[in-house]
Structure formats: C-alpha cells, structure tokens
Chains A and B, each alone.
Chain A
Amino acid sequence: MPDYYDMDDIIMEDQHIQVIFQVGANGVGLLDPGSENNSVEKGAKVELPFWLAHELQLRQAVSIYLPACFSQKTRNEIKADAACVNLKVHCPYFYELGCKIVPLVSDKTIGSFLYETFTSRYLEMLSKSHSASVLTAPKFLPRLSKEEMQLFEASRSSMMAFKKWRAGGSRLEKAPVLGRKRKTTIPTFPSSP
C-alpha cells in the first residue's frame, strides 16, 4: 500500500517515464542528453523519474507521455493472453505505476485495463502458488511484477511453513546467539618457583 516510507513505493517512483516539456527550463540541461547549452527548451522530450514528472505536471511544466508498458501494442499482447506476458521486462511495478498515472494522463481506459490484466493473471497465479512445488516456480516467477511477486511469496511461504510444521520436528529451536563454542581464555600464569 502506498506510503511515504514504503520502500517499494520509493523504488517505484524512480521509474523513468517520458515527458514533454511545456516550458523552457534553464540550468537543468542534465535532464536532456541532447541539449547543447545548460537548458531544456520547450517541446523537448525527456526522460524523468516519476516523482519529478509528477511534481512538474502539477506545476504544469511538463505533460506526461504514456509509458511504453501501457502502449497499444503491449495492451494487445496482454489482451491476447495475460498470463504469459512478462511484466517484469516491461515494468516491474506495472500496477502501481498504472494506478499513479491514471489521474495524470488523459487516457481513461488504463484503470479498467489494469484491473482486467490483474484479474486474469490472478487466476493463473492462484493455482500455481498454492501447490508450492519447486519445479514449476522458476518458469513462472520471472513474469510477475513486483506486487504479484509479493502475493505469490506470501502464499508460498505460509504453505511451506505449514508443511514444515506438519513434518514434525522439535519445537525448541536453538537460539542463533549460541553459535560456536568459545574457548574460555583463562590466563595461565607461569609457574614460578
């Protein structure tokens, strides 16, 4: 859940998206790799991290371009078969980014598109996650976005914990502090006559 201090949120906001500058900006030529002097002129297409783009959009200095992962081509791919699409390659924080972008971009269909994607992938993931076999997992895992990965891990770890408990074993665990045996160093005095 998005939170100011949430680590995933911070990393997610660091994703780059394309923006088009509406105003000229001086002194920030760093942002535009193709600028000669130290400024960005109006109408230039630059890649910015999301948090910066968001703020600038509020100040109406840029307009945000739809990221590649929501383009029509990707959407068609996903509509064809949602479960097989490798979301991590496109954008590891697919859903979060989508949710954040919705109020910023003029395209209105993103929300429902996200929802449908998630629903169809969810069904597939549900069946796989609970079976908790080590073999099927590696094939499927790289395709999941970060949020789906968390979901998957949650169910898998609880299933593994249950199986481990079921298999029995002692209920007393050795505390990790009790590591190796320490040699007690007793100062040995030289025997003196």
Chain B
Amino acid sequence: MMSGLTYDDSFSDQNILRASGLGELQPCLGHNNSAELPQMSSVNPTSSARRLKPLSLASMAGQSDPQLSLLSAPEVEFLAEDEMVEIVPNIKMESLNMICGDFGPFFPQIACKVPLWLAAALKKRGKCTIRTPEWMSVDKLTQVLETERETPREFQPLPFHYIEISKLLFDHAHDDVQDTYMVRSLIEDIRDVRFHKVESGLENISGRTHAVKLKNLSAMEVNIVRPFMMRTLQAFYKHDNPQIIQQHNISGRKQPQVLTRSTRNLRPR
C-alpha cells in the first residue's frame, strides 16, 4: 500500500548533494541497517580539510557512531559553514585562491559573498563585518513564527542550516546583528514549535508507513530525529510484517492515519 512519502530536500542541487552526505532517510524496506555510510577515516574538522570541495565532506559522515547517528552536531555545523554570507571587509586583500574556489579581491567597504567559515575567520581577525542574512531580521522571523504556530502540519520554508548559521553568527558576530536578544529568542521559539510538530507527527507512524516526508525541515532538526525515526520505522516494519500477523483478514484495523505534511502528494511508485 503506497501510503508513504519520502524525505524531500527540495533546495538547491548543492544541498541535495550534501544531503546525501547527511544520510538521507532511506525507505526502511530492508532487513539491514541500510542507512550506514561506509566508514571513512576520521578527520579533524578544524584542520585544512576546510579547503576541500564541499561534496567530499559528505564522506566524513562516518566519524560518529554509525549505529546511532551518522553525523554529530558539530559535524552538521561544519557542513553548514559552507553557506554564503555577505561581508563588508575593511581591509584591502588580494584574492584567495583555494581548492574550493576563488574568493575575489577584497576592497574596503565593498560587500562580497564568502562562505561562512571564511567570514568567521576574517571577523575573528577583525578584518570585516558580517552582514546579517535577510531572513534573520526580527520582522521576518516574527512572521515565520506566527505562521508556524498557525499551521500545525506544515513547516515554513527556512534556510536549511538556519540553526547553525544563527549560532555561528551569534558566537562570532553578535555585534553585527540588530536586536540580538530578540532574534535569538525568536529563533529558539521557532525551533521549539517545529520540533513539537515533528513529535506530534511521529505519533501517527504505523506499520504502513514506508517513509516519512518532512518538508522544509532543517539540517539540525533532521539530525536530531534521525536515529529515533530510523529505529522506529525498522521496529514497526518488523512487527507489521504480514508473515507475523497472520490474522490480517480478521484484524479489521481501520486505515491508520498516514503522516502527511504540506500537500498530500503521494508519489506513485
């Protein structure tokens, strides 16, 4: 019975490639723990691995315990640091040519886009100021919070790494953010509301669920629920096996409510 939906990362291609490194939720039809990635050698995240192309970072996923969670929280943060932010340098510097790309010559007071890790490094050395991303304003966030509270089944579109980006900005550049406390508390509230939605949605899982679709869920939130959800789906699959339940003709269970988010697009397979 095709009642399930899949985890859909509907953002850019780069995110999709990266999401494969995050161990996207595999449909749990298998008898083995199919979400394991091959173990790669552990790499210290703060070493020169920064200079690698983002795609190869996906191979670092095996650093933490593969049974429980493919990525630990700092690893997700590390992946988040590839997001582009705008900075306003206050020095003149020639372009930086790195493996992952060239970051153009920096002129004072001329804004340019760099990855977050570079922005944080420059900010630490006092060479730039970081411009807050536009989604991180009090108005936008209040609006998002309101809509989150009103729609109990949908998640609002937010940047994939909003939790990590906001944490990094607060750590390194809190003076660049207007209304720091307000923004911080708004993000916390948004996070809480979304997480409660995930939990209440999880209550509807039953044996018929082939996969769970959570649209617009962010990287860190996915990472938190991933081990639990994987195990739960495996357990439900094991128990709802028609071989074991030989009384499917007598059971007469009503169709369990399927976990749906946003639009009810049941993808036919």
Contact = CB atoms under 8 A, between A and B. Distances in A.
B228 A155 contact: yes
B224 interface: yes
Contacts of B238: 1, 95, 99
A115 B231 contact: no
Interface string B227-241: 110011011101111
Contacts of B167: 166, 168
A164 B203 contact: no
A155 B171 CA distance: 27
B207 interface: yes
B244 A171 contact: no
Most-contacted residue by chain A among B223, B239, B246 (CB, 10 A): B239
A172 B239 contact: no
A130 B199 contact: yes
B232 A158 contact: no
Interface in A132-191: 147, 150-151, 154-155, 157-159, 161-162, 164-166, 168, 171-172
A123 B203 contact: yes
Nearest to A166: B167
B74 A165 contact: yes
Nearest to B191: A166
A56 B81 CA distance: 59
A44 to B, nearest CB: 30
Nearest to B245: A111
A1 B203 contact: no
B235 A118 contact: yes
Given A109-B247, A171-B74, A115 B33 contact: no
Contacts of B33: 1
Minimum-distance CB pairs A-B, first 10? A165-B73, A111-B244, A155-B228, A154-B227, A111-B245, A115-B239, A151-B231, A112-B245, A108-B246, A102-B244
Given A114-B239, A122-B235, 10 more contacts: A99-B238, A99-B239, A109-B247, A112-B245, A155-B228, A158-B226, A162-B73, A162-B220, A165-B77, A171-B74
Interface of A: 1, 3, 95, 99, 102-103, 108-112, 114-115, 118-119, 122-123, 126-127, 129-130, 147, 150-151, 154-155, 157-159, 161-162, 164-166, 168, 171-172
19 contacts: A1-B32, A102-B244, A108-B246, A111-B241, A112-B251, A114-B244, A115-B239, A118-B236, A126-B202, A127-B199, A130-B199, A151-B228, A155-B228, A158-B227, A161-B69, A162-B220, A164-B73, A165-B72, A172-B46
